[in-house]
Amino acid sequence: MAGSTFGELFRVTNFGESHGPAVGCVIDGCPPGLELSESDIQPELDRRRPGTSRHVTQRNEPDAVEILSGVFEGRTTGAPIALLIRNTDQRSKDYGNLLDTFRPGHADYTYWHRYGIRDPRGGGRSSARLTAPAVAAGAVARKWLAERHGIRLSGHLSQLGEIPIAFESLEHVSRNPFFAANATDIPRLEAYMDDLRRAGDSCGARIEVAAHGVPVGWGEPLYDRLDADIAHAMMGINAVKGVEIGAGFASIAQRGSVHGDELTPQGFVTNHAGGVLGGISTGQDITVSIAIKPTSSIRTPRRSITRAGEATTVSTHGRHDPCVGIRATPIAEAMLALVLIDHALRWRAQCGDVRVDTPRIAARVDPTD
């Protein structure tokens, strides 16, 4: 199967290149009757868009979304929703000589060997710009999740390069250019980024995302588990190299007597599982952490080869994010929303009429854990 479609029942098919006429997506399978207009989607695109601070690429794209179909008199009809975002600030000449060489850490070499042709303008299909359609589709998903199930998504940057960022409060996230849940360390982060930019180098980042209010019972036992589909979604974001659910890699050194989240009539005691057991949601917060590698497009000269296989040196100029992780929080939230709505519909298909007497217990009672 061609790989540009995400989801089984809420299906998002992505198209476009960084410097082509447009990027966008088609959402197929959206439930009918959801109130929807461009104004529901645009704020999420604005969170992700470039040019909003000196710490991200200076490409200036309004990323204005147009709904082409699937909405009638302000409500979804159940028909495919096509979302179009025209590209307006392409400067393709910046990338003129890139056809003849392969940038280290980039997809240039792999695309070339796979396809025998590649669009080098702005990274073409491998550009982070292709996350915009996912963010747009995610906005539709999170609106439905909120209205239908009261689900809320959140995310924040928890590490920038070597610097861990203490969690203070989610309310800070929208008030700094880093999506940090922190007010104290912002000057330090800004200085760090300024140094990095001057050095012509880049750094990685860690993002935490969570979904609050997911009901118990979404997911599948094998293969298309809820956690497996989240891992697929997150590792499918450009530059992601690692994914954790709940305790993640820390669970290696945990004992079973610590890791297994106890249940009480008052609620779960801990949430090491990150809201998923046996591939199915527990009703606790779904918690995900991802590692994002440093941007590959840097000014520092690096060794590479030409298309003919000869040694060369590459130094990348142009407009690039020195840390792609900075803009990744809304992307990770969007991907999580897409996984959740897909499993909401899958759950409804197979199990929508299941009723049990057992009470659904609350999320963990001990928030200090």
Q: Between residues 20 and 138, which has the closer beta carbon with respect to a second copy?
A: 20
Quick note: the x/- pattern for a second copy over 330-359, rule CB under 8 A, is ---------------xxxxxxxxxxxxxxx
Minimal distance in Å, beta carbon 189 to a second copy? 14
Could you identify the residue written with the tokens 């040019």?
Answer: 51
Query: Could you tell me the smallest distance in angstroms from the CB atom of residue 123 to a second copy?
Result: 9
Among 38, 42, 79, 190, contact with a second copy (rule: CB under 8 A): 79
- The alpha carbon of residue 283 and the mean position of all alpha carbons in its chain are separated, in whole angstroms, by 22
Q: For the chain, what is the largest distance between any 2 Cα atoms, rounded to a whole number of angstroms?
A: 70
Amino acid at 226: L
Chain centre distance of CA 80: 22
Q: How far apart are CA 330 and CA 355, in angstroms?
A: 35
Does residue 296 belong to the site contacting a second copy (CB under 8 A)? Answer: yes
Name the DSSP class of 175.
Answer: G
Q: Which of residues 227-286 bind a second copy (CB under 8 A)?
A: 227-236, 238, 240-265, 269, 272-274, 276-283
Q: Identify the helix (H) or strand (E) that includes residue 344.
A: helix 329-351
User: Given the complex with a second copy, which of 153 and 231 has the nearer CB atom?
Assistant: 231
In the block, residue with structure tokens 């790989």: 3
Q: Rounded CA gap, 336 and 331, in Å?
A: 9
Of residues 45-64, which lie at the interface with a second copy (CB under 8 A)? none
Give the pairing of strands 5-6 and 81-86: unpaired
* Residue 240: exposure state from Cβ atoms within 10 A (0-12, 13-18, ≥19): buried
As measured in angstroms, the least distance from the Cβ of 228 to a second copy is 4
* Residue 91 interacting with a second copy (CB under 8 A): no
**Cα separation, 176 vs 198, whole angstroms:** 21
Contacts with a second copy in 171-200 (CB under 8 A)?
none
Q: Nearer to a second copy by C-beta: 175 or 266?
A: 266
The distance of closest approach from Cβ of residue 163 to a second copy in the complex, given in angstroms and rounded to an integer, is 9
300 interacts with a second copy by CB under 8 A: yes
The yes or no reply on residue 212 touching a second copy (CB under 8 A) is no
Q: Is 21 in the site for a second copy (CB under 8 A)?
A: yes
* Residue 329 binds a second copy (CB under 8 A): no
Total residues belonging to the chain = 369
The answer to the question of residue 219 lying near a second copy (CB under 8 A) is yes
Asked if 26 interacts with a second copy (CB under 8 A), we say yes
139 vs 207 by CB, closer to a second copy:
207
Q: Using CA atoms, how far apart are residues 154 and 334, in angstroms rounded to an integer?
A: 10
DSSP 69: S
> In angstroms, what CA-CA distances link 265 with 85, 216, 281, 363, 364?
49, 15, 18, 11, 11
Q: Which is nearer to a second copy, 171 or 252 (CB)?
A: 252
| CB closer to a second copy out of 109 and 168 | 109
Q: For residue 93, state whether it binds a second copy (rule: CB under 8 A).
A: no
| Count of chain residues binding a second copy (CB under 8 A) | 168
The sign of the CA dihedral 49, 51, 56, 57 is positive
